């Protein structure tokens, strides 16, 4: 029986069958971390040379070989082999082919366990910063759009029923607040990602006199992990990312649901750019909000990535287990999904036409001003519950006659309550109803402008 030729194969007599090898390999997806793997190795070999664990000459030879591989990677020249299982073994094999047996000294005082964890921290740290940049762009677009529509009136909804008239700018700023919380969650996520596992080795650290602070600094991490077992087995930072991404996608999906409704013939509140719409293969009149629908649909995909990793992690004993190979594909998938969704949403909002007149008109032939009438009576001293009952009766009578509150003659109003005078029609006007709601955070124009000013201080500083 021939010996096993793997870099780890000294203990084994037989080769692994190809189909089993394919099942265990991760190079098909972890090659996404090729740059990070080389960066981690460069920091590690510099430290090995500086601490005298290997000679400075050996360290320089290895470092130069790694730098050559990094240049080739950036030029798209590297080829990976499934026989080498993962990105780490592929890089070591490529380095050995380039500089000879001295490449074997690179793995001194290091394991694939801390190596892969380091790669993931480097990768996700970079992606978190990029996602926050995209979120900032989306928030800026929302602030600009809200500022343009402070005095655009629309119906506010509860239970998908017209509730009260509000400022469209106010509605948009609600989403600004959601996406701001998303940004804050990712910032905290970055705090837990900006940590170096390198030097934890397999699980217990190493007998070599390594300098973990040096490699942490070289890789621009905030600090090294304090516990070697935790360093190689922690995936909380990925779980946080997937959880935060799920909340973000939920926010995007809610917004998309509204945009999809607003585009419909029944609403006609907005018109999407052709860039973010598609047609029908059979119905020539159709203009479908497909990009919004795709974001809504891809939300479930991100939820699935979160549940998959939570399930993988729920019963893993310390420290490293092969199950952890399943931590990467969901992370990569979520990064791709979130980044493209943010780009699409930002572009969709930037190019969207708001049909202000349609929005405003929809608040004049409804009963969204009913609360105004109840508040009007309450302000004149009538107990609110009595005012509520009177207005409810008036709405019922209007519904039977096919008219609205602003159509009721003054004498009919006064038959219900002598507290009602001719100023009631000003109160019932939807624009006035919006403008008067000046409680903190309300939809009144001055309050919306205050919200926008506060937001500008955060996103345009």
Residue 279 in 3-state DSSP? coil
Two tokens, residue 118: 């380091």
**Within a domain: residue 118?**
yes
pLDDT in tens, 253-270: 999 999 999 999 999 999
Active-site pick, 57, 264, 280, 399? 280
Is residue 70 scored above 60 in pLDDT? yes
Confidence of residue 9 (pLDDT cuts 50, 70, 90): low
pLDDT at 8: 47
Are 141 and 223 within one domain? yes
Are 226 and 288 within one domain? yes
Are 407 and 440 within one domain? yes
pLDDT at 318: 94
Are 195 and 301 within one domain? yes
**Within a domain: residue 4?**
no
Q: How many domains does one find in the chain?
A: 3
Contacts of 170 (CB under 8 A, 6+ apart): 146, 442, 443, 447, 448, 451
Q: What is the CATH number of the domain that holds 383?
A: 1.10.40.30
pTM above 0.75, yes or no: yes
Active-site pick, 26, 44, 93, 159? 159
Are 317 and 297 within one domain? yes
Q: Dihedral of CA 26/30/34/40: which sign? A: negative
Are 217 and 330 within one domain? yes
pLDDT at 306: 98
Confidence of residue 281 (pLDDT cuts 50, 70, 90): confident
Cα 183 to chain centroid distance, Å, stands at: 8
**Within a domain: residue 9?**
no
**Within a domain: residue 12?**
no
pLDDT at 2: 45
Catalytic residue at 159? yes
E-only strand ranges, 226-305 = 270-271
Is residue 39 scored above 90 in pLDDT? yes
**Within a domain: residue 10?**
no
pLDDT at 7: 60
**Mean pLDDT, range 103-108, rounded to an integer:** 97
**Mean pLDDT, range 335-353, rounded to an integer:** 97
Q: What is the CATH number of the domain that holds 130?
A: 1.20.200.10
Least confident of 6-10, 24-28, 411-415, 442-446: 6-10
The secondary structure of 347-407, three-state, reads HHHHCCEECHHHHHHCCCCCCCCHHHHHHHHHHCCCCHHHHHHHHHHHHHHHHHHCCCHHH
Q: What is the enclosing helix (H) or strand (E) of 229? A: helix 228-233
331, 361, 391 - which closes a domain: 361
Contacts of 48 (CB under 8 A, 6+ apart): 54, 59, 105, 106, 108, 109, 210
**Within a domain: residue 86?**
yes
**Within a domain: residue 2?**
no
Confidence of residue 371 (pLDDT cuts 50, 70, 90): very high
299, 332, 361 - which closes a domain: 361
Contacts of 322 (CB under 8 A, 6+ apart): 24
Confidence of residue 20 (pLDDT cuts 50, 70, 90): confident
Confidence of residue 138 (pLDDT cuts 50, 70, 90): very high
Are 339 and 428 within one domain? no
Are 283 and 338 within one domain? yes
Catalytic residue at 233? no
Peptide bond into 319 cis (omega under 30): yes
**Within a domain: residue 344?**
yes
pLDDT at 27: 84
**For residue 380, what are the domain limits?**
370-459
Strands 161-167 and 195-196: unpaired
Confidence of residue 17 (pLDDT cuts 50, 70, 90): confident
**Mean pLDDT, range 161-169, rounded to an integer:** 97
Are 184 and 266 within one domain? yes
Confidence of residue 284 (pLDDT cuts 50, 70, 90): confident
185 burial via Cβ count (<10 Å: 0-12, 13-18, 19+) = middle
Average model confidence (pLDDT) across the chain? 94
Are 88 and 130 within one domain? no
CB-side exposure of 239: number of CA atoms within 13 Å?
13
Is residue 1 scored above 50 in pLDDT? no
pLDDT at 282: 85
pLDDT in tens, 175-234: 999 999 999 999 999 999 999 999 999 999 999 999 999 999 999 999 999 999 999 999
Confidence of residue 3 (pLDDT cuts 50, 70, 90): low
Least confident of 76-80, 280-284, 364-368, 420-424: 280-284
**Mean pLDDT, range 89-99, rounded to an integer:** 96
73, 108, 143 - which closes a domain: 108
Question: In this structure, are residues 24 and 6 in contact, taking their beta carbons and an 8 Å threshold?
Answer: no
**Mean pLDDT, range 141-161, rounded to an integer:** 97
**Mean pLDDT, range 325-340, rounded to an integer:** 96
Are 179 and 302 within one domain? yes
Are 298 and 157 within one domain? yes
Least confident of 112-116, 308-312, 321-325, 392-396: 321-325
Is residue 79 scored above 60 in pLDDT? yes
pLDDT at 85: 87
Residue 267 in 3-state DSSP? coil
Is residue 292 scored above 50 in pLDDT? yes
């Amino acid at each position: 029986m021939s010996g096993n030729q793997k870099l780890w194969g000294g203990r084994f007599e037989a080769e692994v069958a190809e189909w089993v090898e394919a099942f265990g390999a991760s190079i098909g997806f972890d090659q996404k971390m090729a740059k990070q793997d080389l960066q981690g190795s460069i920091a590690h070999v510099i430290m090995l040379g500086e601490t005298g664990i290997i000679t400075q000459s050996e360290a320089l030879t290895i470092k130069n070989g790694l730098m050559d591989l990094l240049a080739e990677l950036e030029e798209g020249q590297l080829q990976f082999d499934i026989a080498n299982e993962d990105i780490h073994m592929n890089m070591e094999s490529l380095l050995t082919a380039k500089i000879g047996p001295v490449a074997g000294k690179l793995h001194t005082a290091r394991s694939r366990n801390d190596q892969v964890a380091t790669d993931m921290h480097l990768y996700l740290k970079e992606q978190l910063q990029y996602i926050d940049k995209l979120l900032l762009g989306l928030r800026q677009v929302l602030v600009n759009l809200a500022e343009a529509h402070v005095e655009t009136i629309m119906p506010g909804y509860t239970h998908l029923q017209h509730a009260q008239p509000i400022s469209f700018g106010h509605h948009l700023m609600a989403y600004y607040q959601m996406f701001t919380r998303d940004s804050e969650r990712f910032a905290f996520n970055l705090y837990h990602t900006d940590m170096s596992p390198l030097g934890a080795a397999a699980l217990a650290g190493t007998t070599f006199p390594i300098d973990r602070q040096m490699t942490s600094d070289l890789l621009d991490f905030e600090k090294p992990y304090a516990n070697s077992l935790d360093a190689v087995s922690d995936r909380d930072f990925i779980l946080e990312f997937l959880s935060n991404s799920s909340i973000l996608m939920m926010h995007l999906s809610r917004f998309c649901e509204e945009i999809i409704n607003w585009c419909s013939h029944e609403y006609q509140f907005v018109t999407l750019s052709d860039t973010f719409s598609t047609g029908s293969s059979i119905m020539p009149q159709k203009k479908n909000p497909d990009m919004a629908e795709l974001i809504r649909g891809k939300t479930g995909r991100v939820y699935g990535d979160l549940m998959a990793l939570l399930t993988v992690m729920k019963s893993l004993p310390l420290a490293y287990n092969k199950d952890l190979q399943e931590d990467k594909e969901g992370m990569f998938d979520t990064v791709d999904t979130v980044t493209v969704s943010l780009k699409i949403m930002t572009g969709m909002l930037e190019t969207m036409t708001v049909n202000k007149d349609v929005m405003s008109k929809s608040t004049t032939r409804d009963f969204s001003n009913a609360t105004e009438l109840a508040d009007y009576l309450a302000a004149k001293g009538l107990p609110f519950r009595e005012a509520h009952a009177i207005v409810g009766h008036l709405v019922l009578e209007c519904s039977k006659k096919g008219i609205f509150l602003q159509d009721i003659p003054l004498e009919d109003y006064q038959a219900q309550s002598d507290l009602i005078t001719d100023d009631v029609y000003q109160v019932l006007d939807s624009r006035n109803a919006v403008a008067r709601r000046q409680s903190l955070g309300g939809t009144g124009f001055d309050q919306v402008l205050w919200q926008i000013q506060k937001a500008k201080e955060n996103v345009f500083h």
